[in-house]
C-alpha cells in the first residue's frame, strides 16, 4: 500500500473510534429505558405512539412474540412501499409526472428497502416521485435499520439475562423499535443531513431544472414519425438518431435527508442512479468522508454497547478488534489491486498502470477503494465508483466481504448478531478441540444453539449459490448478461451475493430489471434477511432462559488476541469454503486471464 492509502485508513479508523464510543453510550441508555435529558422532550411522542397503537411498553415478550411482531411490521412495510410505487401517478409531490412502477420492479424494490438491502434495478431520478422517495424509501430506511438494531439488542439481552421463565423474554419489540427510531436514528440522521447540506448536497422540492450547458452535448434519441410513434427497424429495435443539444435537465429533490439515513442505516439506496458518485449526492471529499463514517458509525458503536450491556466491556472490544482486522486485510488487498491496475497497460509503455476506470476524479483510487471496502463490509451498498470496473481481484474483495455474511462491521445490528453467531461457532470448535462443553459469556452452548447457528450460517450461501446456478442455467437469466465469460459469471454471482446478504450494490453490467431477476433477487433478499433473523431471535430466547455459569479454570477466555484470531479464523474458514469454487469460476479465472495476456 502507498503512504496515502495507509494515512486515509488510519485517519478514518481514529475518527470512527472517537465517534462510536459516545453513540454506544446513547444506544445503551436508550435500550435500558434511560432517555438522556437532551432528548426527553420527545417522550410525549413516544408515549403518544404507545397509546395510539395500544402498546404496553413495559410488557415483555418471548422470542416468538418478538419475532412475530417484527415479521408483521416488515410485511406491512412491503405492502405500503409497493402501493406507493404503483399509485404514485395519482399522488402529490410528483412534479415530473412519474408513472406507476411496473409490478415486478415495485415488488422487488419494496422487499429491497424493507430488508435493508436497497437493491435498485431502476434509475431513481427517472422512476420515483418525491413522495415515493420520501414516504416510501426514506421512511423505510429508518424502519429497516431499526429492525436490524433491535434484533441485535434482543440477542445481547439473551446473553445478559439468565434463568428467565419459559423460553426467555427479550423485551418489547414495539417499544424497542420506537426508541431506536425516535432517540437514536432520527437525531443522528438530522445532524448528518445538515453536514451534507453544508457540503452542497441538495435538499428541495423544486421541479427538475433545464439549464444551458457550456458546450453542446451529443446523444442519441429514438426517431419518430409524423404521429409521434417510434420508428423501428426490421428487427423491431428503435431507430436512433444523433442529436446535439446545449441544454441539460438537472434532477432536483430532497436528497440530503435520504442520503443521511441511507448511510447511517447502512441502507445504500441512492436518490440518483449514480448513487454516491453523483455530485448532488456526494459533492466533495469531505462529504465522502462523512458518508463513510456514517456507514460504520452504528455497527462500531453496537460493539461497545454489547460490552456495556453484558457487563464486560472487553468483550465488545474483542468483537470490534476481529471486525477491524478483517476490514484492514480486505482494504489492503483491494487498494493494492486497484493501484497495481492491469499489466496490459504497463506493457504498452504507459507511465501509470493504476486502474482509474469507473472512479470519480474528485475521490481517486484510494478513497474509492476505501469506500468500496466499507460499503460491502457493511450491508450498505452505496457506491462512489463502479465496482464493475474494478480489477478482477479488486472486484473479488467486495464480493467476498458480502459472502462472509457481512459481519465485518456489517449492517446496523445485523453485523453484530452475525459476528456473535460466529463467536458461538468459534467457542464450539474450541470446545471440540479440548473436549469441553462450549461456553460463551457464562452461557452453555448446546445443541439448540448450534442448530440455529448452522441455519444462520448456511441459509445465505444456499440462496447465493442456488440463485446463481439457476440464473446461468436458464435463458431468462442469461439474457441479462452482457459480458460473456468469467466476468459475466462474476456479475451474476455478485448480484445474488448482494441480494441474499442484504447489501444492494451491483456490478452494474448485469441487466437485472427484468421479471426473472426482480422475482429471484426479491426472494433472495427476503429470505436472506428473515430466515436469519428468526433463528437469531430463537437463539436469544434460549440463551435468556439459561443460568449463568461461574468462570472456572477450564473456561475459555473469550477476550484478548487469541480469541480474536480464533474468531477471524472461523469467519474466514466457514465463509470462504462455501464460495471458493464459485469465486474460482469468476474473478479468479478472470485475474488469471488478465495476467496471461
| Contact criterion met (CB below 8 Å) for 475 and 442 | no
The Cβ of residue 433 has, within 10 Å, a number of other Cβ atoms equal to 10
Q: Which residues contact 20 (CB under 8 A, 6 or more apart)?
A: 296, 297, 300, 301, 303, 304
- Tell me, rounded to whole angstroms, the distance of Cα 11 from its chain centroid: 23
Q: Where are the beta strands (DSSP E) in 206-322?
A: 209-222, 240-250
Q: Which of 534, 315, 526 is nearest to 420 (CA)?
A: 315
Angle at which helix 561-583 crosses helix 414-434, to 10 degrees, equals 100
Q: Show pLDDT as tens, one digit a residue, over the chain (597 residues).
A: 799 999 999 999 999 999 999 999 999 999 999 999 999 999 999 999 999 989 998 899 999 999 999 999 999 999 999 999 999 999 999 998 999 999 999 999 999 999 999 999 898 899 999 999 999 999 999 999 999 999 999 999 999 987 655 456 899 999 999 999 999 999 999 999 999 999 999 999 999 998 888 777 666 666 766 555 667 666 566 677 776 767 888 999 999 999 999 999 999 988 999 999 999 999 999 999 999 999 999 999 999 999 999 999 999 999 999 999 999 999 999 999 999 988 877 666 655 578 888 898 889 999 999 999 999 999 898 999 999 999 999 999 999 999 998 899 999 999 999 999 999 999 999 888 877 778 899 889 999 999 999 999 999 999 999 999 999 999 999 999 988 889 999 999 999 999 999 999 998 888 899 999 999 999 999 999 999 999 999 999 999 989 888 877 777 888 889 999 999 999 998 888 889 999 999 999 999 988 886
**Joined grid coordinates for residue 581:** 469454487
Q: Return left, alpha or beta for 200; rule: phi > 0 is left, psi -120 to 50 is alpha, else beta.
A: left
Distance between CA atoms of residues 463 and 402, nearest Å: 13
- Greatest pairwise CA separation for the chain in angstroms: 89
Query: What is d(CA 570, CA 576) in angstroms, rounded to the nearest whole number?
Result: 10
- Do strands 443-444 and 439-440 pair parallel, antiparallel, or not at all (unpaired)? antiparallel
Q: How far apart are CA 176 and CA 159, in angstroms?
A: 17
Amino acid at each position: 500500500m502507498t503512504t496515502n492509502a495507509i494515512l486515509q485508513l488510519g485517519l478514518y479508523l481514529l475518527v470512527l473510534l472517537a465517534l462510536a464510543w459516545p453513540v454506544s453510550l446513547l444506544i445503551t441508555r436508550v435500550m435500558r429505558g434511560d432517555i438522556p435529558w437532551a432528548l426527553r422532550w420527545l417522550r410525549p411522542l413516544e408515549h403518544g405512539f404507545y397509546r395510539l397503537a395500544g402498546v404496553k411498553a413495559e410488557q415483555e415478550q418471548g422470542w416468538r412474540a418478538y419475532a412475530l411482531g417484527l415479521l408483521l411490521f416488515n410485511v406491512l412495510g412491503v405492502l405500503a412501499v409497493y402501493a406507493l410505487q404503483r399509485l404514485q401517478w395519482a399522488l402529490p409531490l410528483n412534479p415530473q409526472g412519474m408513472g406507476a412502477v411496473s409490478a415486478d420492479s415495485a415488488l422487488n424494490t419494496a422487499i429491497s428497502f424493507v430488508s435493508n438491502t436497497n437493491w435498485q434495478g431502476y434509475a431513481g431520478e427517472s422512476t420515483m416521485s418525491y413522495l415515493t422517495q420520501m414516504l416510501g424509501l426514506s421512511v423505510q430506511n429508518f424502519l429497516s435499520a431499526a429492525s436490524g438494531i433491535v434484533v441485535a439488542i434482543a440477542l445481547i439481552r439473551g446473553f445478559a439475562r439468565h434463568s428467565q421463565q419459559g423460553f426467555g423474554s427479550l423485551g418489547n419489540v414495539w417499544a424497542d423499535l420506537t426508541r431506536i427510531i425516535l432517540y437514536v436514528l432520527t437525531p443522528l440522521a438530522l445532524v448528518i443531513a445538515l453536514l451534507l447540506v453544508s457540503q452542497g448536497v441538495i435538499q428541495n422540492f423544486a421541479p427538475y431544472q433545464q439549464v444551458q450547458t457550456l458546450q453542446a452535448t451529443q446523444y442519441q434519441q429514438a426517431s419518430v414519425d409524423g404521429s409521434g410513434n417510434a420508428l423501428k427497424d426490421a428487427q423491431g429495435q428503435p431507430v436512433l438518431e444523433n442529436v446535439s443539444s446545449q441544454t441539460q435537465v438537472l434532477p432536483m429533490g430532497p436528497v440530503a435527508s435520504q442520503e443521511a439515513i441511507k448511510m447511517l442505516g447502512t441502507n445504500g439506496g441512492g436518490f440518483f442512479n449514480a448513487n454516491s458518485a453523483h455530485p448532488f449526492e456526494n459533492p466533495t471529499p469531505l462529504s465522502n468522508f462523512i458518508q463513510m463514517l456514517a456507514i460504520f458509525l452504528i455497527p462500531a458503536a453496537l460493539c461497545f454497547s454489547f460490552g456495556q450491556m453484558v457487563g464486560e466491556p472487553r468483550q465488545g472490544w474483542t468483537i470490534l478488534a476481529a471486525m477491524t482486522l478483517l476490514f484492514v486485510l480486505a482494504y489492503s488487498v483491494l487498494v493494492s489491486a486497484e493501484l497495481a491496475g492491469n499489466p496490459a497497460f504497463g506493457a504498452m509503455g504507459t507511465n501509470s498502470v493504476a486502474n482509474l476506470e469507473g472512479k470519480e476524479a474528485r475521490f481517486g483510487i484510494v478513497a474509492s477503494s476505501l469506500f468500496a471496502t466499507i460499503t460491502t463490509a457493511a450491508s450498505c451498498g452505496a457506491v462512489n465508483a463502479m465496482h464493475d470496473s474494478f480489477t478482477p481481484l479488486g472486484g473479488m474483495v467486495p464480493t467476498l466481504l458480502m459472502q462472509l455474511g457481512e459481519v465485518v462491521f456489517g449492517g446496523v445490528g445485523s453485523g453484530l448478531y452475525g459476528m456473535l453467531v460466529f463467536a458461538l461457532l468459534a467457542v464450539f470448535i474450541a470446545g471440540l478441540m479440548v473436549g469441553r462443553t462450549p461456553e460463551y459469556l457464562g452461557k452453555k452452548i448446546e445443541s439448540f444453539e448450534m442448530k440455529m447457528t448452522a441455519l444462520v450460517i448456511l441459509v445465505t450461501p444456499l440462496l447465493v449459490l442456488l440463485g446463481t446456478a439457476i440464473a446461468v442455467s436458464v435463458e431468462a437469466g442469461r439474457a441479462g448478461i452482457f459480458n460473456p465469460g468469467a466476468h459475466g459469471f462474476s456479475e451474476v454471482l455478485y448480484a445474488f451475493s448482494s441480494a441474499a446478504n442484504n447489501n444492494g450494490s451491483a456490478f452494474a453490467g448485469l441487466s437485472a430489471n427484468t421479471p426473472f431477476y426482480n422475482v429471484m433477487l426479491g426472494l433472495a433478499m427476503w429470505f436472506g434477511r428473515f430466515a436469519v433473523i428468526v433463528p437469531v431471535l430463537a437463539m436469544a430466547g434460549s440463551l435468556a432462559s439459561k443460568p449463568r455459569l461461574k468462570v472456572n479454570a477450564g473456561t475459555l477466555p473469550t477476550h484478548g488476541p487469541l480469541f480474536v484470531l480464533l474468531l477471524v479464523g472461523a469467519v474466514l474458514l466457514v465463509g470462504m469454503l462455501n464460495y471458493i469454487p464459485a469465486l474460482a469460476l469468476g474473478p479468479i479465472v478472470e485475474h488469471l486471464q488478465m495476467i496471461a495476456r
